[in-house]
Amino acid sequence: MNIRWNMVLSVIALILLGWFYTLNQQDDGLSNLIKKDDSPEYVGKKMNTVVFSPTGLRQYLATSEHAEYFTSDGHSNFAKPVVYLYNIEGDNIGQQNWKLSADKATLTKDNMLYLDGNVTAESLSPLSRLQRVFTQRATVNLKTQDITSDTMVKINGLNFNSTGLKLTGNLQQQVATLKEQVKTYYEINNQ
């Protein structure tokens, strides 16, 4: 009889251990529903956004193949972004004046756009002194249209081409300064 009680108690113990084991299993399905701190608040594909200034004028238009917004610090990541800047001063206020593109970009909540990989800034005005700026990495202040880069930069303008390092400038004012290893070629028109 002692053996029979040992067998019954062993079976009950095994059943209780099995039940306890199933209670302590991690349910991956539920943990996937909880947003992690380092994951984006929302993700979008083929995104278009128009941002207006406090005075009601268009400031910029942004399009992207893929976008992610993070609420932790208010930044957004973009894949294949194209950003159109609008004139913020002068005679043509509210007209598109520059097209920015890159492989990827990060936009911070203070309107700083960090472009990375095959960065191109292209003027949409045929009379602009600066026509195109090419680099691998650039930072653009979307409020003031200031642009900076610490990488090799190639600038095409009306009747000149320049290459150099460390660009600072302003797209609205069509001003660019290369600070190191500058080479400039001028085209002189005899008319």
pLDDT tens over the chain, length 191 residues: 678 888 888 888 888 888 888 877 666 666 667 777 777 788 889 999 888 888 888 888 999 999 999 888 889 999 999 999 988 776 777 788 899 999 999 999 999 999 999 999 999 988 888 899 999 999 999 988 999 999 999 999 888 899 999 999 998 888 888 888 888 888 877 66
Quote the CA–CA distance of 115 and 38 in Å, as a whole number: 21
pLDDT at position 30 is 64
pLDDT at position 146 is 93
pLDDT at position 148 is 94
What is the third-level CATH fold of 40-186? lipopolysaccharide transport protein A fold (2.60.450)
Domain boundaries, the chain: 40-186
